[in-house]
Structures are given as C-alpha cells and as structure tokens.
Amino acid sequence: MESSLVRSKFSEHFGGKPGGIYCAPGRINLIGEHTDYNGGFVFPGAIDKCMTAEIRLNGTVKVRAYAVDLDDYAEFGLSEEDKPQKAWARYLFGVCREMQKRGYEVQGFDTAFSGNIPLGAGLSSSAALESVFAFALNDLLQFGIDRFELARIGQATEHNYCGVNCGIMDQFASLFGKAGSLMRLDCKTLEYEYYPFRPEGYRLVLVDSMVKHELASSEYNKRRKSCENVVAAIKSRHPEVEYLRDAGMDWLEEVKDMVSGEDYSRAEYVIGEVRRVLEVCDALEKGDYDMVGQKMYETHYGMSRLYEVSCAELDLLNDVAKRCGVTGSRVMGGGFGGCTINLVKEELHDRFVGEACKALREKFGREAGVYDVVISDGARRVK
Ligand code: ADP
Ligand code: MG
C-alpha cells in the first residue's frame, strides 16, 4: 500500500514521531474536451490512483522533501528567492508560496511522498501533487481554506511556478472527487453538480498510446484562434455571445459564409461537445450506459475529423475498440497523444486490452500503457 511505503520512507529519512498522511487522486474526464476555454462544461471524476504524502511540521522555515519515486531529495526556504531548481520541488514550493500570497502563514515541514499515477499520461499527476500538499497544509495549519480556493492555489502553482497555463479542472477533480460520482463543472460560472457514475458490469480503462503531446501547444493556440474568430462572427449578429458555449448550431449556420471552412468545423465540434456533455448527464441519470458510450464515440469522431487533434495511434486505438464492441471510446485530454478512455463490458475487457496492445505494437512498434481506474474520493487525510 502507498501509505505504508511513504510511512517507512518518512521514518527512514526523518525519524521521530509520525506525521499526518494525506492523499489526493489523479482524474479522468469522461467527456467535454476543449470546452473549458469555450466557457462550456467538463465532466471529470477522481480515480483510485493517488499521490500520498506524509507531512510533519518541523519548527523551522525550511521544507525538507523526499520524492520517494524519484529517489530524490530537496530542501528549500519559503521566500520567493528560494525557488528550487528541481521541477518536482517547484510544485511543493509553489503551493506554499501561493498560500503565503493569500495571507496564510505557512511553516516549514518535512515530507516524503509517493504516487501511483503515471506521470505525463494525462491523468494529472501534477494536480494530485499540488492538491495533496494544499490539502495537507490547510489541514495541519488549520487555515480554513475551502476546497475551491485550494484548487485555485494548485492552478496558480502550475501558472506561476511550473510554466503550465492550465484551467482548473484537474485540481478541482482531485479535491472534489467522490466515489461513484462524476462532476459536471461549468467553466463559465464555476458551478458544479455531481452525477451518479456506477457502471455495473463495465470497467473504465485507459489505453496510453505512448505518443507525447509535442504538437499540442502551437496547434492548441490555432484552435483557440478559430474559436475566437467564430465567436466574433456570431457576435456581430448576437452581441450577447461571449463564448461558443453560448451559441447553438443555428447561430453557427447563420455565419457559415463569414468564417473559413476550417473555423466552421472547429466551432461545430465545440458546440456539439458542449451539448454532448449535457446528453451524457441525462443518460447517466437514467443509467443508460449505451448512450454514454455512443456520445464518447461521437466525441472521438469530432476530435479526429472536425477539431483535428487526434493522431494515427489514437485513431487506431479507437478503431480497435469499435471492432471489439467496446461500449464507448475516445481520446482523452487535449489530443495529439496520451490515452484513450474506454467504457468496456467486463467480459470484453481482457480481449480488448489484448487487441489494442497488439495493434499498437504491430502498426507503430509502441508498447501501450493500460490503466484500469475506478471513480473514487478526492483529497483526504488517510491517518
Ligand atoms: P501529468 O499529466 O501527469 O500531470 P505533468 O507533466 O503535468 O503530467 O506533471 C508531471 C510532473 O509532476 C513530473 O514531471 C514531476 O515533476 C511531477 N510529479 C508527478 N508525479 C510525481 C511523483 N510521483 N514524484 C515526484 N514528482 C512527480
Ligand atoms: Mg499536469
């Protein structure tokens, strides 16, 4: 178990009395991709893969941190000029600094931490890292910060200390997760709602294409620009439109001649995707997992053909899923690499995974990663 590993490493490094043990999970997003910056909905859930940290205040103004999985150690102070060199340590430092900027008096601590979330696979190991420290410090030092602000602290850490200009979904999911529930987050108003997700007889499995998202940032900016172009066109007729989320297909149709074919397709994907999230919510309330799966395939099609953020490896994994009769499958995350998320009937699971790995190996010479996940609780104290 993760917490016993952390316990023994903490004790080996720092000795003395045990600290508090906390964990914060990674996340999946069932549906709702490229909707966040369009003011739409995302639909994440926390998973049963976590970052676990033991933390004990040390009575100094220094942090002494041991990253068990990397077998690496860092020590740093709590002033801005103490920013550590090591990338992993910046997540901890950033959380401390963002708390201080908000007026909380962070104190030095000793910590050992370890996780079982694959790094860089799109399951947000970084948000789990921020969330576990934000949650733990808030608890140990009794700051009384609410979970939403803790998520903002994690997000600001990525922005200001890790060079990643992310939205709030990942930290939100890690902090607000609930077993058996997904969360529909409205990225325009930040309102959220829980929906039941208990797919009995199904498994959720991620298949990692092992393609890294290298194209992602320049292509991402082009997609954002397309969305802005279409918003500007729609706005000339419907001034109240602020985001694509505010428009329906009918308004997009009205401006068809004012925008490029490419921009039109991209907006068509986004408007469809916002609607699909709502359709999936309805389906879940009825327990209609076939419908959920169908929407996942529609998303994959849209991301691949309209938004053009898939790649050959991801399309292959999606095709294999379809061929095996998997209920739902789509690329998860921004695209250009990473995982597909698959809703698979229990009895099909092993055959699908086998076929997916074989196809990726034979066609692309890549060894797929396979991660089974269960929707679980958010950040919490373990001991
Ligand atoms: P992800 O999609 O998993 O969030 P990122 O690139 O955003 O990928 O974050 C990965 C980074 O987070 C790693 O490079 C490392 O700095 C840090 N990290 C994640 N998991 C761990 C871990 N178990 N131990 C130490 N650092 C970690
Ligand atoms: Mg990350």
> Using CA atoms, how far apart are residues 247 and 285, in angstroms rounded to an integer?
25
List residues with catalytic annotation: 170
What CA–CA distances, in Å, run from 118 to 50, 218, 311? 10, 25, 21
The rounded Å distance from CA 120 to ligand 1 centre is 6
Q: State the average pLDDT over residues 124-133.
A: 98
Distance CA 311, CA 342 (A): 17
Q: Give pLDDT tens digits for 309-320.
A: 999 999 999 999
Q: What is the pLDDT of residues 68-124, one digit of tens each?
A: 999 999 999 999 999 999 999 999 999 999 999 999 999 999 999 999 999 989 999
* Strand bridging mode 109-115 / 62-67: parallel
Distance 233 CA to ligand 1 centre (A): 40
pLDDT at 378: 98
The model carries a pTM of 0.96
State the average pLDDT for the chain: 97
* Tens of pLDDT, residues 266-314: 999 999 999 999 999 999 999 999 999 999 999 999 999 999 999 999 9
Query: pLDDT at position 2, please?
Result: 81
Ligand nearest to the CA of 67: 1
Residues 137-143: what's their mean pLDDT?
A: 98
Q: For ligand 1, is residue 87 a contact (CB within 6 Å)?
A: yes
> Could you please report the per-residue DSSP string of 125-192?
HHHHHHHHHHHHHHHHTT----HHHHHHHHHHHHHHHS-----SHHHHHHHH-BTTEEEEEETTT--E
Pairwise pLDDT comparison (2 vs 349), residue with the higher score: 349
Q: Determine the pLDDT at residue 327.
A: 98
Per-residue pLDDT, 84: 98
The pLDDT assigned to 38 comes to 97
* Ligand 1 neighbour 176 (Cβ under 6 A): no
User: For residue 154, what pLDDT is reported?
Assistant: 98
- The answer to whether the beta carbons of residues 98 and 153 sit under 8 Å apart is yes
Q: At which residue do the structure tokens 């990473």 appear?
A: 338
Residue 215 pLDDT more than 70?
A: no
- Look at phi and psi of residue 185 and say left if phi exceeds 0, alpha if psi is from -120 to 50, else beta: beta
Does the beta carbon of 92 sit less than 6 angstroms from any atom of ligand 1?
no
Task: List, as one string, the DSSP characters of 30-71.
Answer: -S--S-GGGT-EE-EEEEEEEEEEEEEE-SSSEEEEEEGGGT
In this predicted structure, the answer to whether residue 214 has a pLDDT above a threshold of 80 is no
Q: How far apart are CA 366 and CA 147, in angstroms?
A: 39
pLDDT in the model for residue 383: 78
Q: Which atom of ligand 1 is nearest to the CA of 158?
A: 7
**What's the 276 CA to ligand 1 centre distance in angstroms?**
30
